[in-house]
Amino acid sequence: MLENRALHCVLGAYVADAAALGFHWLYDQSLIARYGGDHPEFHLPNREEYGDKGYFAHEGKAIGDLSHYGAQLTAMLDSLQSSGDYQEERYIQAYRHWFDFGGMWQGYIDHPTRGTLLNIYQREAQEQPLSGCGADDTQNPALSNLPALIAYCGHQDDISQAVESAVRVTNNNDQAVLYAQAAALMLQSALRGGSPYVCVMAARNAGAFIDAQIDKAESLSEKTSREVAAEVGMACQLEASFVVICHLLLNTQSYEQAIRENILCGGDSCGRAITLGAVLGACYSGTEQTIPAEWITKTQLPPVLFQSLR
């Protein structure tokens, strides 16, 4: 059962993802500002607004719908809801229930998901175990399952093994695991009531490589997050996304302000939104800076989230 900060951790991820969908993968900040104005959140996806400045992936999606990142989070939530503990085999089953042929998800399938499914088919054909079946990939899907995993299991003394296992189901890559361990430390800090700054500093325990990424975000403190995204990259690779997420957290004023700024940064805003929204949702739970109620109402939340409240 999810309560208080744990609930707001998962809820914050979902709302941030849905809020960003309308301009997801539009790589022109000026176009986002033109069409989204001061309130780019919950914008109806429109192919004509993209021109040749991005990749339009969400044909037929409505305001409040989740992206494939939100669906990836739901796969993890599904696997945890019945017992509250992580089991790799159960997570793989839930993941396939969502993304395999005839699965629940209807929409864009990203590169690591395609690679993961192909690896699963190949291993099954060769009667090999499915453990660590993920694609060799360092993109944002490596972090999509973490809000649910940490919300349910983050109180455990050593969650790092479960984090690594869950990441390697979809992103079987050592660097992806490092980023995920850092994000998990941020989320654990948020669940303990840490400020966004404290959460970023908590990730320093993940190692020197992550320290360098955080140092980079701090060194760019005089710049806006939009300027940082334009400088380090707006795409799906964690090398860019992690710096932007850290910069947004280090300069946040509220959940609403940070999620809005993330959208205006452009590019893979939905990919960044999962971690960003989860940390801020937990950090600001019970405060005036929390998730706006009207944003929650607009989001098409999965039924399993409400089952988690029982």
Rounded to whole angstroms, how far apart are CA atoms 14 and 156? Answer: 24
Instruction: Name every residue whose Cβ is closer than 8 Å to that of residue 163 and which is 6 or more positions away in sequence.
Output: 146, 149, 177, 180, 181, 184
> Given phi > 0 = left and psi -120 to 50 = alpha, else beta, which region is 156?
beta
Rounded to whole angstroms, how far apart are CA atoms 124 and 142? Answer: 23
Rounded to whole angstroms, how far apart are CA atoms 307 and 60? Answer: 27
Q: Could you tell me which residues are beta bridge partners of residue 267? A: 26
Q: Identify whether the C-beta of residue 295 lies closer than 8 Å to the C-beta of residue 45.
A: no
Task: Cite the annotated binding site for Mg(2+) by residue number.
Answer: 268
Least Cα distance to 278 among 147, 97, 168 occurs for 147
Q: Which two tokens stand for residue 225?
A: 């997050």
Q: Which amino acid is at 163?
A: V
Other C-beta atoms lying within 10 Å of the C-beta of residue 160: 15
Phi (first) and psi of residue 231, to 5 degrees:
-80, -50
Task: Cite the annotated binding site by residue number.
Answer: 268
Phi (first) and psi of residue 196, to 5 degrees:
-55, -40
Residues in the chain, total: 310
What percent of the chain is helix, strand and coil (3-state, nearest 5)?
65, 0, 35
Rounded to whole angstroms, how far apart are CA atoms 161 and 286? Answer: 31
Rounded to whole angstroms, how far apart are CA atoms 207 and 264? Answer: 30
